[in-house]
Structure 1
Amino acid sequence: MESDWHCDFDSDPEYDDLWNVIIMRRTKEIRSRPKFFKLYDDKDFRDRFWISKKTAWNVLDCIRLQIEHKTKWNHALSPEQMLLLTLRFYATGSMLRTVGDLLGVSQSTVSRVITVVSHHIAQLKDHHIYMPKTEIDLKKSQRDFFKLAKFPRVIAAIDCPHVKIISPGGEDAELFRNRKGIFSINVQTLCDSNLRIIDIVARWPGSTHDATIFRNSQILCRLESGEFGSGIVVADSGYENNHFVIMPLMHVNTSAENLFKESHIRTRNCIERSYGVWKRRFPVLSLGLRLHLAKTQSIIVATAVLHNICCNNRDIMAPPLSNEIEDVVNNMINIPNNRNAESHTINNVTRKCLIDNYFSLL
């Protein structure tokens, strides 16, 4: 009986096909991977990764040891290739499989590479994202802001852009739906007059009010403690007016108030411009991140670090955008607000002092 069973199995075409499917495996193919640092000149390199070769090398020098594989088994990716895969993802916002086609690697490999590289770039935050640390830095920051529109004592501008994400799922998913009806993370940033991001908080759901994020941030405690002396931060009407945060006037009655309003607008404009440069250089922030929430937060901080490195290296040329991406970027930078600014104008002592003792004398 046993021999008859084997005979029936071998002679049945249906079993033959099934057996072939079971034992057949795809042949492993080792593809040659181009060396883009040598293949492209600086212009072609920037057109594809939207940062210069010099900037990319500087970043690679900082994270090479952390991301390098211990062996070359299984044709492991080099640190250069891992960084370029990640930069390509930041610069295009494409599907992971499409990004993987750049070097002929799988979707899962791209996901792991982006996770590791983004994490280690984000770990550079303390070296590249920081408030003025010394009295000399504070005075320089105030002088630089003063040159913009003659607004005194300003050390930073603050606001919150939204970064589009997919629904994180779970019971709290709706907390991430913002006023525009899309899922996002509300990211608080402060910038200096040179558009550098000097503080960032990237963990709050899109439905969270800007003022709530600020009230629960470390930077508020530092401002309240007097760490920055008499320095002030300019903000829009979504924040609470106090001794160290100055919001705009809603109604102008005098020439001094008109000068204050105009100077405030021109000074605070640098935060909007920083978002424009940041999101144009890394369109993945505007087109949307389709990754796990923890990975998304690392990517946001990592792109902020890269933005500052570009500013420090004077790599500030924003790459051209298609009309479609331009519309998405502009829509994501400014989400219509439903704030009642009149309820945040109780503590006007500092603002009134600036108007009466400075702007009225101009």
Structure 2
Amino acid sequence: MSQPSVSLICKQVALALLAKRADWIKMPQSDQEQNNAIAGFFSVCGFRQVIGAIDCTHIRIPKESGDVGQYYINRKGFSSLNVQVVCNSNLEIMDIVAHWRGSTHDSRIFNESRIKRRFEQSEFKGRLLGDSGYACTPYLFTPILNPRTPKEEAYNWAHIRTRNTVERCFGVWKQRFRCLLKGFTTKLDNTKLFIVALAMLHNIAVHRNDLLDDEGINDSEEFPLQHPGNHNLRGNACRAAFIEENF
């Protein structure tokens, strides 16, 4: 079979899968679904009111030609798409954004995403956990960069272990579909479709208990880039009150 035929078939399969996207990639809606998600994160190490863990991961793509190509080159020096994911404690992908260029900062992707608007409109009773690349807000808690008290130390300990869920999700997802780890050679528009389709297939596998061993898998950056506007006064005050009450 010729390469063009294989590419066409893969695109048709991806489009057929994406027609069912809303059935397989979705945030919890009902009170019961949200309570279940919150309970799942609480079971990790006792962090309350977390409904999702958020982070971005780079998926390698071929070098783009022309002036636009430079914008796909990430901080590690290769061309990529920077893909934002929100996952639950079962490592299921509940929200995904897969069209931003590799040089785009994680915080910009979140700031322009629909999932941020939904949290701002109070659609969910819980909050997200993110790394220091995001601004701290009432609905997205980040780590304390310089903890000074035992309570802040305890908060950071619980935050890191609970947020690690999304790093494990990336690791398992890429282990399940090695093209996410090694990179794509397909046309850019098709690659964006394939990434979301593979997120759907990952969720289907998790739903059917087709599990992979995630021991030793970690997709995090050793030193995440600090968000320059990470001093949101309302967010910091909300986080401080949460720490005082729960730790």
**TM-score tier after normalising by the smaller chain length:** over 0.9
- SS in structure 2 of the partner of residue 186 of structure 1: strand
The answer to whether the 8 Å contact 2:99/2:192 transfers is yes
- SS in structure 2 of the partner of residue 344 of structure 1: coil
The answer to whether the 8 Å contact 2:174/2:180 transfers is yes
Task: State the 1:334 CA deviation.
Answer: 3.7
Residue type of the partner of 2:9?
V
Listed as ranges, the gaps of 5+ residues in structure 2 are none
Quote the Cα distance in structure 2 between the aligned partners of 1:297 and 1:175. 16
- SS in structure 1 of the partner of residue 67 of structure 2: coil
Residue type of the partner of 2:108?
T
Q: CA RMSD in A?
A: 1.9
| Equivalence for 1:354 | 242
Task: State the 1:339 CA deviation.
Answer: 2.3
| Equivalence for 1:223 | 119
Quote the Cα distance in structure 1 between the aligned partners of 2:207 and 2:222. 32
Whether 1:174 and 2:70 are equivalent positions in the alignment is: yes
Deviations 1:24-76 (A, max 9, x none): xxxxxxxxxxxxxxxxxxxxxxxxxxxxxxxxxxxxxxxxxxxxxxxxxxxxx
Quote the Cα distance in structure 1 between the aligned partners of 2:119 and 2:208. 29
- SS in structure 1 of the partner of residue 99 of structure 2: strand
Quote the Cα distance in structure 2 between the aligned partners of 1:340 and 1:315. 36
Rg (Cα) greater in structure: 1
Whether 1:307 and 2:234 are equivalent positions in the alignment is: no
- SS in structure 2 of the partner of residue 198 of structure 1: strand
Residue type of the partner of 1:286?
L
Residue type of the partner of 1:183?
S
Higher RCO (CA-CA < 8 Å; seq separation 6+): 2
How many percent identity over aligned positions? 37
- SS in structure 1 of the partner of residue 86 of structure 2: strand
| Equivalence for 1:316 | 211
Quote the Cα distance in structure 1 between the aligned partners of 2:40 and 2:47. 10
1:339 to 221, 225, 238: 225
User: Higher mean Cα deviation, 193-202 or 112-121?
Assistant: 112-121
Quote the Cα distance in structure 2 between the aligned partners of 1:130 and 1:177. 30
Whether 1:211 and 2:107 are equivalent positions in the alignment is: yes
Task: State the 1:259 CA deviation.
Answer: 1.0
Whether 1:239 and 2:127 are equivalent positions in the alignment is: no
Quote the Cα distance in structure 1 between the aligned partners of 2:199 and 2:42. 25
2:186 to 291, 300, 303: 291
Deviations 1:258-301 (A, max 9, x none): 11011101110100000010000001011111111110001100
Structure richer in strand, relative to its length: 2
- SS in structure 2 of the partner of residue 213 of structure 1: helix
1:67-82 matches, within 5 Å, as: none
Quote the Cα distance in structure 1 between the aligned partners of 2:241 and 2:141. 11
Whether 1:129 and 2:25 are equivalent positions in the alignment is: yes
Residue type of the partner of 1:123?
A
The answer to whether the 8 Å contact 2:133/2:224 transfers is no
Quote the Cα distance in structure 1 between the aligned partners of 2:67 and 2:100. 16
- SS in structure 2 of the partner of residue 270 of structure 1: helix
Quote the Cα distance in structure 1 between the aligned partners of 2:100 and 2:139. 23
Task: State the 1:140 CA deviation.
Answer: 1.2
| Equivalence for 1:200 | 96
**Distance change in 2, residues 1:317/1:338 (3 Å):** closer
Listed as ranges, the gaps of 5+ residues in structure 1 are 1-104, 320-325
Whether 1:160 and 2:56 are equivalent positions in the alignment is: yes
Residue type of the partner of 1:226?
S
**Distance change in 2, residues 1:341/1:173 (3 Å):** closer
The answer to whether the 8 Å contact 1:162/1:187 transfers is yes
Residue type of the partner of 1:263?
A
Structure richer in helix, relative to its length: 1
